[in-house]
């Protein structure tokens, strides 16, 4: 994703100095800082995996926690079986 920020010259210089002190490019530094802010703002996401495999596993587990209902047969879906007095 690309985001455009309108920073003051002082803010830009300060961020660039911090990035250089950390040995990172400004882009890498800002990306890491935004990740830190996101984890702080949304603690439930702190354990979220970088990939989707664990997330999908947790989603499947959550979906499986709901009661399972039997699938209706084709016969049960026929209109004449819904309204037997009308046929």
Residue linked to tokens 């947790």: 58
Would you place residue 49 in the very low, low, confident or very high pLDDT band (cuts 50, 70, 90)?
low
Is the pLDDT confidence value at 22 over 80? Answer: yes
In total, how many domains does the chain have?
1
DSSP string, the chain: --------HHHHHHHHHHHHHTT--HHHHHHHHHHHHHHHH-GGGTT--SSSHHHHHHHHHHHHTSPP-PPPPTGGGSHHHH-GGG-
Structure tokens at 31: 């990306």
pLDDT category at 51 given cuts 50, 70, 90 is: low
Answer yes or no: is 20 within a domain: yes
Residues spanned by the domain of 29: 1-63
Percent of the chain whose predicted confidence (pLDDT) is above 90: 22
Is 12 domain-assigned?
yes
């Amino acid at each position: 994703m690309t985001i455009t920020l309108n920073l003051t010259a002082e803010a830009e210089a300060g961020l660039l100095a911090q990035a250089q002190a950390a040995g990172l490019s400004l882009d890498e530094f800002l990306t890491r800082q935004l990740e830190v802010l996101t984890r702080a703002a949304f603690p439930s996401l702190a354990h979220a995996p970088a990939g989707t495999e664990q997330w999908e596993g947790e989603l499947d587990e959550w979906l499986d926690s709901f009661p399972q209902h039997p699938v209706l047969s084709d016969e049960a879906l026929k209109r004449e079986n819904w309204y037997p007095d009308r046929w």
